Structure 1
Amino acid sequence: MPDILTHVLVGYVLGTLVSFRLQWLTPQHVTVTMLGAMVPDLTKIKLLVPSTQVELWLGLPFDWFAIHTLGGALVAVAIGALCTAGQHRRRVFGLLILGAISHLSLDALLINASGYSYAVFFPFSAVHPPTPGLFLSSDRWPAAVGAVLAGAIWTLRRRYRPGHGS
């Protein structure tokens, strides 16, 4: 669980930092960025509906893990943006993709026995980029760092933009 919490906290930090620059970006928009940070983990749906079952239904090769790549995240984010009112689609798409890219970037830093990450840029590239191996997804310290950063950003927002605090 520290993994998803870390992604949400980083989404909050990024969304709030962007809101300092863009006046239209409200706390509700920051929430969209936080949701975007969870998009790649939609792969967890495989716990309810295995990839093999979807393959049987479609009659085509299928793997939920594709959502945990740049191409899959782009498709999922595009679907999410299409579910919003037309006047909000571009902003929602941008905020969702910001969150999703933050998720993929953090996951590219995970410790991996091979020293290389997964094919994060699939289908644009099959390259497995090297990873610095900073942490495990089960480590608690990244969530603690995320919480401290989120707390600091929350305090800054309350102090310098009192009408937009939350």
Structure 2
Amino acid sequence: MADLLTHVLVGYCLGTALSIRVTWIRPAHVTMVMVGAALPDLAKIELVVSWRTMVSRFGVPWDWFALHTLGGTVVTVLLVSLLLEPKERWRVACLLAVGVASHHVFDVILLSRTGLSYPVFWPLTTYQPPAGGLFYSWDRWPAAVTGIAAFCLWRYRLRRENSPSPV
């Protein structure tokens, strides 16, 4: 779970940093960046419902891993944004895309046995970029570092909101 926690904390840090600079971004919008950072991990539904079950149930080729690629996350972001009222769709889609992009960046820099990352740009290409080799997905230190960064940003934003405004 350190991997998912790290993704969500990175989403929080990015959303909070954006909210400091962009006036229309509120705490609910920061939450959308965090949701976007977790969206590619919907592919882990494979642990509950196997691809074989999907193929036998619907009769079409299926692989949950597609949700963890660029094509799958673009479709997921578009579908999630359709659930919202029309005036918020574009903003929410952009915020979800920021979170999704951070997820893919952090997954590409993971250590892997082969030295290659996953085919992140599928369906455009099956090219697997070299893995960054920074940490394993089960390491706890990335969650600790991003947790500290999230805490610092939270305190900064809280202090900034509670300070008297200049006249």
In the superposition, the TM-score normalised over structure 1's length comes to: 0.94
Deviation at 1:101, TM superposition (A): 1.0
Deviation at 1:160, TM superposition (A): 2.0
Aligned length: 163
Q: Distance in 1 between matches of 2:64 and 2:22?
A: 35
Task: Classify the secondary structure of the residue corresponding to 2:87.
Answer: helix
Matched, 1:65 2:65: yes
Deviation at 1:59, TM superposition (A): 1.7
Deviation at 1:58, TM superposition (A): 2.4
Task: Classify the secondary structure of the residue corresponding to 1:128.
Answer: coil
Matched, 1:55 2:55: yes
Q: Which runs of 5+ in 2 are unaligned?
A: none
Deviation at 1:11, TM superposition (A): 0.2
Q: Distance in 2 between matches of 1:58 and 1:105?
A: 33
Runs of 4+ off more than 6 Å: none
**Partner residue in 1 for 2:3:** 3
**Partner residue in 2 for 1:154:** 154
Deviation at 1:130, TM superposition (A): 0.6
Q: Distance in 2 between matches of 1:27 and 1:18?
A: 11
Deviation at 1:72, TM superposition (A): 0.3
Q: Distance in 1 between matches of 2:42 and 2:122?
A: 16
* AA in 1 matched with 2:151: G
**Partner residue in 2 for 1:137:** 137
**Partner residue in 2 for 1:121:** 121
Larger Rg: 2
RMSD: 1.1
**Partner residue in 1 for 2:29:** 29
**Partner residue in 2 for 1:43:** 43
Deviation at 1:74, TM superposition (A): 0.7
User: Which shows bigger deviation, 126-135 or 5-14?
Assistant: 126-135
Q: Distance in 2 between matches of 1:129 and 1:114?
A: 11
In the superposition, the TM-score normalised over structure 2's length comes to: 0.94
* AA in 1 matched with 2:84: T
Deviation at 1:23, TM superposition (A): 0.5
* AA in 2 matched with 1:82: L
CA deviations on 1:65-121 (whole Å, 9 max, x unpaired) are 000011101111111000111111001101111111111110111111111101011
Identity among equivalent pairs (%): 47
Q: Which runs of 5+ in 1 are unaligned?
A: none
Q: Distance in 1 between matches of 2:110 and 2:6?
A: 13
Task: Classify the secondary structure of the residue corresponding to 1:37.
Answer: helix
Q: Distance in 1 between matches of 2:162 and 2:86?
A: 30
Q: Distance in 2 between matches of 1:126 and 1:161?
A: 46
**Partner residue in 2 for 1:17:** 17
